[in-house]
């Protein structure tokens, strides 16, 4: 019995140590110092270019109560080819988490004068007054996973 307790204690300690020393996900950078914009000065692409947007899963949240009626929790995979563009869109009513899996992609926010580079491993939370677009300025496809809540008032247009 003492061996079993020791083994469980060792396993618990190993799990704790692993959790403590594991690297946390890399969160996407913010607008560089001195580059914040108070007015949107960018041109905004309005159509996707070189993007394949696949819904991997969608869950109707209506059964969770009236506040969730018509909302869909989605998981999507986006593959953005070199030179590809995810057009201008907003997140004031549609929160999303984006994880860059392969390649890199540049985000152009309405609140920043310059693009923000997101390499593989970056995770970015999109919500609130965020409006932006993305472009793959690299030489290889960028692969992103997007988890979002699509409200009933928004069309399922597969635009970030």
The predicted structure's pLDDT at residue 125: 86
The predicted structure's pLDDT at residue 33: 87
Residue at token pair 């947007």:
53
The predicted structure's pLDDT at residue 38: 76
* pLDDT < 70 stretches in the chain: 1-29, 41-42, 153-160
Coil, strand, or helix at residue 55?
Answer: strand
- Measured CA distances, 37 to 67, 110, 124 (Å): 35, 7, 19
Could you give all domains of the chain from N- to C-terminal order, each with its CATH number? Answer: 26-150 (2.60.120.10)
Q: Please answer whether residues 90 and 131 qualify as being in contact, where contact means their C-beta atoms are separated by less than 8 angstroms.
A: yes
Rounded to two decimals, what is the model's pTM? 0.75
């Amino acid at each position: 019995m003492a061996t079993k307790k020791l083994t469980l204690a060792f396993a618990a300690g190993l799990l704790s140590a692993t959790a403590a020393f594991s690297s946390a996900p890399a969160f996407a950078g913010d607008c560089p110092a001195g580059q914040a914009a108070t007015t949107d000065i960018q041109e905004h692409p309005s159509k996707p270019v070189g993007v394949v947007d696949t819904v991997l899963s969608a869950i109707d949240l209506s059964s969770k109560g009236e506040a969730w009626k018509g909302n869909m929790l989605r998981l999507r995979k986006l593959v953005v080819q070199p030179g590809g563009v995810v057009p201008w869109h907003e997140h004031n009513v549609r929160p999303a988490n984006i994880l860059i899996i392969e390649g890199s992609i540049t985000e152009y926010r309405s609140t920043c004068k310059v693009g923000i580079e997101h390499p593989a491993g970056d995770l970015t939370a999109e919500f609130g007054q965020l409006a932006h677009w993305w472009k793959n300025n690299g030489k290889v496809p960028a692969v992103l996973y997007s988890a979002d809540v699509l409200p009933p008032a928004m069309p399922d247009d597969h635009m970030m």
